[in-house]
Chains A and B, each alone.
Chain A
Amino acid sequence: MSATPAAAMPEGEPLLEVRRLDAGFLLIPVLFQVDLDIWPGELVALIGANGAGKSTLLGALTGLVRVTAGQVVFNGRPVTGLRPEQTVAAGLVHVPQGRRLFGTMTVERNLLLGAYRRRDPRIREDLERILAYFPTLQDKLHRDAGTLSGGEQQMVAIGRGLMGRPRLLMIDEPSLGLAPKVVDRVMEVVRAINHDGTAVLLVEQDVVLALEAADRGYVLENGHVVMSGRAGELRHDPAIRKAYLGV
């Protein structure tokens, strides 16, 4: 597979710099020598097959998964191996795979919990901003989150992440288990969030979907980054078309 063309990288200081990162679980190493950069305002796709280590990478960045070697610099600060409450406070927010809402709590409480680390007075204002992205949630604020449809739950999960005022929002497989029309709606909002200035790292198994939305992409295979580059180029790369699109 082809190497990264240096020309694909944007200018200036990256927001997130991952260098030669190894991470994994107690006796199971999962990630090996991962390098990845995200610049402010970018929408970057992370694609790869089942079990490639995509979710593990997000977990390693937020502090849920143990980092065994390498470095992560976020917003100019080393954040390697920090605990989740510290990375969240730094603006690195992870919307987990499978939504993981607090099902017996109301939608509103779920959203407000997203702002748990914040002490500023603009939390209510942000709640309104999020409801503007997801108007269907407006009259469901007092319902238990677990009673919502899959699409609505994904919206709450993204909204909960946004309530943390992220500089980088990492969304793990938002399209999972959703009907195509709902996926379109969710992706539209992901693009809008990015357009409004938040950098996004989008993890997807739906390669076409991810590369259509993204500026750049990384391909993860068995815990290694095997390819990266502009989304448009990756989309037309023969190796990718063969491996992920079955063409």
Chain B
Amino acid sequence: MWGILNIVNLAHGALVIAGGYLTWLLYSRWHVDPFLSLPVDAVALFVIGYALQRGVINRIIRAPLLFTFLLTFGLNLILVSVLLLLFTPDYRSVTTSYSGSRLELGSIAVPYIRVASLAVAILLAAILWLILNRSRTGAAIQAVGADRDAAQLVGIDLRHAYALTFAIGAAFAGVAGGLISTFQAITPTAGDPYTLQAFAVVILGGLGRVSATVAGGLLFGLIEILGQSTPGLGSGYANAIAFAVLVIVLAFRPQGLLGRLA
């Protein structure tokens, strides 16, 4: 989503973690199954995202990129602080009755939760594709991304389009956070790697198309895993390798691997 409007959102990770906490809260208070709480994460983060964009980020939408960086960086700090106040810095995890179960496929065993997460991720990509390519709102979002003035001249309300874009992005971040909480303990400051990853995935794949972003995501994941499993390299290097690849891609194909130059 960010890629389409060229919004660099440094608060992305905080939104992911907020979704994680919501799932954790619903599970620990009311025993809501984490997968059932995903739609709640989506709706809650959509509302928060819309309000943030409309109230805060829209004010600097025409400002240079640096301002977007500063503002969303500040927003990230505020969101993390709020999460710290609400949930303390303690690590939280969602451990369900099926958390330990695995799917046995011959010699490999994959945790059910990972399989379900993959299914949800595919579903999300499909939903996003449908929104962008089959709905009136999606057409408006893409039009704004392609030519802001022309979009206004067909009657698209820029502020609303930006807010919707941000809200949809936040909703997806929230769902991702809900998923993450099922296989990883979360703490308010745990979001930063996700911001970096989102940034990397968008850049790897290229701006503006879902298929490119999905490809970027797969590639980034693959590089990380290769980095982790290479003998002699600790998992600490995985991120470093992935970002080194990112820098190389940027140097040779600034539009991303599958991106088109505007």
User: Interface extent on A, as a size class?
Assistant: 20 to 34
Contact of B157 among A83, A94, A164 (CB under 8 A): A83
Instruction: List the B side residues contacting A63 at CB < 8 Å.
Output: 152
Q: Tell whether A102 pairs with B143 under 8 Å between CB atoms, given A88-B155, A113-B154.
A: yes
Instruction: List the A side residues contacting B146 at CB < 8 Å.
Output: 102-105
- A107 close to chain B: CB less than 8 A: no
Judged by DSSP, the binding face of B is: helix
Instruction: List the A side residues contacting B140 at CB < 8 Å.
Output: 113, 116
- Shortest Cβ distance from residue A158 to the other chain B in the assembled complex, whole angstroms: 13
- A211 close to chain B: CB less than 8 A: no
- A142 close to chain B: CB less than 8 A: no
The interface bits of chain B over 101-140 (1 if a CB of A lies within 8 angstroms of the residue's CB, else 0) are 0000000000000000000000000000000000010011
The interface bits of chain A over 157-193 (1 if a CB of B lies within 8 angstroms of the residue's CB, else 0) are 0001000100000000000000000000000000000
- Shortest Cβ distance from residue A34 to the other chain B in the assembled complex, whole angstroms: 20
Contact of A117 among B142, B155, B260 (CB under 8 A): B155
- A84 close to chain B: CB less than 8 A: yes
Q: Within the assembled complex, what's the spacing in Å between the Cα atoms of A199 and B20?
A: 56
Contact assessment for A100 and B155 in the assembled complex, using a CB-CB cutoff below 8 Å: no
Which residues 154-184 of B sit at the A interface, judged by CB distance below 8 A? 154-157
Contact assessment for B260 and A104 in the assembled complex, using a CB-CB cutoff below 8 Å: yes
Q: Within the assembled complex, what's the spacing in Å between the Cα atoms of A117 and B155?
A: 6
- A213 close to chain B: CB less than 8 A: no
- A114 close to chain B: CB less than 8 A: yes
Instruction: List the A side residues contacting B208 at CB < 8 Å.
Output: 104
- Shortest Cβ distance from residue B209 to the other chain A in the assembled complex, whole angstroms: 8
Task: List the 8 shortest-distance A-B pairs measured between CB atoms, nearest first.
Answer: A117-B155, A88-B155, A100-B150, A84-B152, A102-B146, A85-B157, A85-B155, A116-B155
